[in-house]
Structure 1
Amino acid sequence: MSNELCYLSATKAGELFTSKKLSPVELLQALINRAEQVEPSINAFSFEYFDEAMDAARLAEKSYMKGSARPLEGIAVAVKDEENIIGKVTTNGSLLLQDNVAQTHSPVVERMLNAGAIIHARTTTPEFSSNTVTHSRLWGVTRNPWNTEYTPGGSSGGAGASLAAGTTTLANGSDIAGSIRVPASCSGVIGFKPPYGRVPDESPYNLDTYAHQGPMARTVADCRLFQNVLSGPHPFDPASVSPKLTIPDNLENIRGMRIGYSLDLGYFSVDSEVRENTLAAVEVFRHLGATVEEVDIGWNSSCLTTAMTHLHALFGSTLQRDCVGREEQLTDYVRYFLGTGSSPQPKSVVEANLHAGEMFAQLSKVFASYDLLICPTVATTFVKADFDYSKDTLIVDGEIMAPSLASWCMTYPFNTLSRCPVLSVPTGFASNDVPTGMQIVGPSFDDVTVFKAAMAYESAKPPMYSGGLAPEILQQPELVM
């Protein structure tokens, strides 16, 4: 029964709490027991707050007894080790921040706690969230519960791994080049990159259009629930969008919807198994009554140059400010990132912005004929857990990838086009037992249509963790660095 509780959805848990058939204390204890069993193998948590979380679960139990529960009352949420929690250390995976005690809550943490969530653990992230795999000198290697030889993705890798391993009910993520959707795909869970400004953030990243905060979960319904808690304007974030959008739970069917799909976005090398699973998902949408047709967006590899120019100009410059003179303490990939042009000339930034406008114009032509676009989330599942793009070679579909944190991730074009809502949902497994995923991409700020399609897809193809399916995580402490 314990593992069954570990994979219980947040929506179902709330129903059972309300009917008093389950206590928040019982659910949290099951998650703690599971974490004690599997954490030596997957290393998804940087910090554990189990004792105080149990105190919060007892208070939540009393709230349900009084009939005064909030939207996430008693639900365990694992928070990325990037968000500030008052009085707690926030390391961002870096030796430079191992004594950094937060004085304020991040807006998303504030929203979780106000909704009654219980923060029982911190999830691991690569150093400064600057990679799409999750390992750091501070916390070691985080591994995929489905196959510990491979990565659960990054930078919200600990979040994805924890959801897959059954050690949390919900988890938050952040996404500047795919850091919610990549681990969602690799871990077989749901991850939503909201449109820019939909979920508030802290300075300076609230003013970076590539940067997004968002929910991760094991079901689309849970992702919707969590997104509705996180979204809405915030008094300390001038970029946050008003009014708040609440995604309804009674979304109608998608019969008659027009969907375009692309297997490679015009330029990615993509493994055959990823292609096959995406095409199988296309057939599900057709079965549901949608018209689904292949489209040519017209993009090319210049999209990567544009994204990296932006990331170096803003993200990279921030790292330079904080890290110069302390390079010997950094993880190799951070040093590499800092050394590959972190301060582009203004002309390059202008050229990147002009190309971003061209990308949007090309995608707009697709949305003139189609309600949504679907494509794979990542191009391959064969990325080792300790992969370091600064020194290791990655081959996808027989082609050697450029040494870039995002070369295998089909996510970053939608950070460039940041107002597009994008939801990653599982499509199956590859031969190495690592899950595959697809992105459901909507026109600017059309979150509801994205969730409508995802809910319909999940009704036809049940969530990966339904029916007792879960990874068999073997105790392998020798794998953890």
Structure 2
Amino acid sequence: MTDEDLCYLSAKEALKLFRARKVSPLEILKAQIARSEKVNPSINCFTDRYFEEALEQAKAAEAVYAKRSGAPRPLEGIVLAVKDAQRVKGKRTTHGSLIFIDNIDDHSDPMIERLTQAGAIIHARTTTPEFCLSGACHSRAWGTTHNPFNIDYGPGGSSGGSGAALAAGLTTLATGTDIGGSIRIPASACGVVGFKPPHGRNPDGPPNCFDRYNHCGPMTRAVGDAALMQSVTSGPHPLDHDSLRDVVTLPERPGSLRGLKIAWSIDFGYVNVDPDVRKNTAAALDRFRALGSKVSEVTLGWTGDVETHALHWYNTMEFGRQTVWWKKTHGHLMTDYALKMADAVEKTGIDDVHKAWAEAHRMYETLGPVLAEHDVFICPTLNLPAVHADHDPWDPDFSINGVKVDGEYGWVMTHQFNMLHNCPVMSVPSGFAASGVPTGIQIVGRTFDDATVFKAALAYEKAVGGWLTEKKSRPKI
């Protein structure tokens, strides 16, 4: 097995090899550190790195597996990259902003706490746009993150560094947060797996745990690894009043999809979709048909009002209003897109929150009946493979297929399922565009029905042979 193969091992494969004492945690970490030294200068997906500390932890994990009587924890020795917007005790969390460049946290967020208690080793933090505000991943604090498959393009955001690190083989697991698609956007653009659980499935820290649009979740290269992370992360937490008490048992192996009822839409009836995305989504649906699923096109009756009203939540609640608060005292440190967000927020009022809620109710009045008659709903994750690395989310001339669209929302099909926050959604790869950038599909489940989403994703993954498992499918960097 080459060093590159070690870098791309799934967590489940690594754990199996650790237990058999055929590979050690130290070997994988050293290989990923060496690869990051070679590759990261080109893609810029890491902020802080804790390589020396992580090496000591990997040695300790190696010793655990060396003992025949040892009792390894569920993620003992697995390398984890954490988004630079999630608290890690004793470490700096900058939120992609110069404002927080010296911020040290005194506690970890629940997700990070549980992953490290399960034995995961944090070796690096991953880039995010300032305050996680954008689907593009660049900031004054950390510069521009590039897509490993084509560095002219971005990796998506806001968990862009996590997606890029996974695609480039620089980590085994990664974390993300998702308030408008921030897990699924980079999962699609980087050709990896990203899961947005129902709100509350994974406990979170304040203020995110209060925001129904917000979710923290796993980013991985394999569906089974996402299930592994979920088994560690999910469940009630005493510091999160929204955390759900029931713990879902997720399938571990692919099963039959014969008779599974799948509803689908390429464009929701109003979205302008890139031809490569359309073609790859259709091919993915054919895979599900070949697996014996009953695949039916549906009409949701959604309109562009979804985009307009989605803005009201962002602009009036804490997520958007933080830009106004910080502009008053630290505006000189903020990125252009954060300052433009502040300007937009100042034009809205608290009554506008109702518009987002009313739109979400209207959306579910059509999606709910569809999911009552089908097991899952499938659509593209992004209607454009990716935007350029330096993309301006406020660009008034941004277009798809020659038609002007909103620079922030016009190229993603994810935020609809933040508005419908109790639906579990997984993004998995669907192929590649002509640019070499991956594309993805979303598998959307009934409210709180995580297991069926994983069931569909596992079978699809097996049918296509997985992703990034062979050298020919990996980025050429």
Normalised-by-shorter TM-score class: over 0.9
Match of 1:111 among 106, 110, 114: 114
Distance 1:5 1:393 in 2: 44
* Cα displacement (A) at 1:318: 2.8
1:352 corresponds to 2:343: no
Per-residue deviation, residues 416-468 of structure 1 (Å, max 9, x unmatched): 00000000000000000000000000010000000000001011012221222
Aligned residue in 2 for 1:216: 219
1:190 aligned onto 2:193: yes
Between the aligned partners of 2:7 and 2:150, the Cα distance in structure 1 is 19
- Which letter does structure 1 place at the counterpart of 2:430? T
Per mean C-alpha deviation after superposition, the further-off stretch among 43-52 and 221-230 is 221-230
One-letter code aligned to 1:230: T
Following the alignment from structure 2 to structure 1, what is the Cα–Cα distance between the partners of residues 376 and 401? 27
Q: Give the Cα–Cα distance (whole angstroms) in 1 for the partners of residues 421 and 338 of structure 2.
A: 24
Which residue in 2 is equivalent to 1:159? 162
Match of 1:146 in 2: 149
Residue 471 of structure 1, CA deviation: 3.8
**Alignment-derived partner of residue 329 in structure 2:** 325
- Counterpart position of 1:47: 48
Partners of 1:171 and 1:28 lie apart in 2 by 14
Say which is worse superposed, 310-319 or 30-39, in terms of deviation.
Answer: 310-319
CA distance in structure 2 between the aligned counterparts of 1:304 and 1:157, rounded to whole angstroms? 22
Q: How far, CA to CA, are the matches of 1:472 and 1:441 in structure 2? A: 28
Deviation at 1:185, TM superposition (A): 0.1
Distance change in 2, residues 1:342/1:71 (3 Å): farther
Contact 1:41 1:473 in 2 (8 A): no
Please state how far the C-alpha of 1:473 moved relative to its aligned partner.
4.4
CA contact (8 A) 2:312 2:355 kept: no
Deviation at 1:395, TM superposition (A): 1.6
Match of 2:11 in 1: 10
Does structure 1 residue 36 correspond to structure 2 residue 37? yes
Alignment of 1:287-298 (within 5 A): 287-298=290-301
Q: What's the CA shift string for 1:85-106, capped at 9, x where partnerless?
A: 1111110110000000111111
CA distance in structure 2 between the partners assigned to 1:472 and 1:189 by the alignment: 12
1: CA distance, partners of 2:127 / 2:386: 21
Alignment match of 1:418 (pick from 408, 417, 421): 421
Greater Cα shift, 251-260 or 275-284: 251-260
Question: Counterpart of 2:246?
Answer: 243
Partner of 1:477: none
Give percent identity, aligned residues only. Answer: 47
Task: Supply the distance in 1 between the matched residues of 2:346 and 2:190 (Cα, whole angstroms).
Answer: 31
The separation in 2 between residues aligned to 1:162 and 1:242, in whole angstroms, is 32
1:258 maps to 2:250: no
Q: What letter corresponds to residue 26 of structure 2 in structure 1?
A: V
Return the alpha-carbon distance in structure 1 between the equivalents of residues 325 and 246 of structure 2.
Answer: 35
Would you identify which runs of 4 or more consecutive aligned residues in structure 1 move more than 6 Å? Answer: none
User: Which residue in the other structure is 1:479 paired with?
Assistant: none
User: Could you state the TM-score of these two structures normalised by the residue count of structure 1?
Assistant: 0.96
Aligned to 1:22: 23
* Matched residue SS, 1:428: strand
For each residue in 1:7-53, what CA deviation from the matched residue of structure 2 results, as whole angstroms up to 9, or x when unmatched? Answer: 11100000000000001000100000100000110000001100000
| Matched ranges for 1:198-209 at <5 A | 198-209=201-212
Whether 2:256 is the aligned partner of 1:274: answer: no
Instruction: Report SS of the residue matched to 1:285.
Output: helix
Amino acid at match of 2:340: Y
Compute the displacement of 1:393 (Å): 3.2
CA distance in structure 2 between the partners assigned to 1:111 and 1:437 by the alignment: 29
Q: For residue 98 of structure 1, what is the amino acid of its counterpart?
A: I
Gaps of 5+ in 2: none
Alpha-carbon shift at residue 252 of structure 1 (Å): 3.0
Write the letter of the residue equivalent to 1:16: L
Q: In structure 1, what is the Cα distance between the partners aligned to 2:62 and 2:215? A: 33
Q: Post-superposition shift, 1:346?
A: 3.5
| AA of the residue aligned to 2:21 | K
Length-normalised TM-score, structure 2 = 0.97
Q: Which residue of 1 aligns with 2:388?
A: 384
Q: Give the letter for the 2:56 counterpart.
A: D
Once residues 161 and 332 of structure 2 are traced to their aligned partners in structure 1, the CA distance between those partners, rounded to angstroms, is 25
Structure 1 range deviating more: 250-259 or 166-175 = 250-259
CA contact under 8 A between 1:383 and 1:394: conserved in structure 2?
Answer: no
Alpha-carbon separation, structure 2, partners of 1:342 and 1:370: 42
Note if 1:334 corresponds to 2:338.
yes
Provide the secondary structure at the position in 2 that maps to 1:248.
Answer: coil
Aligned residue type for 1:354: A
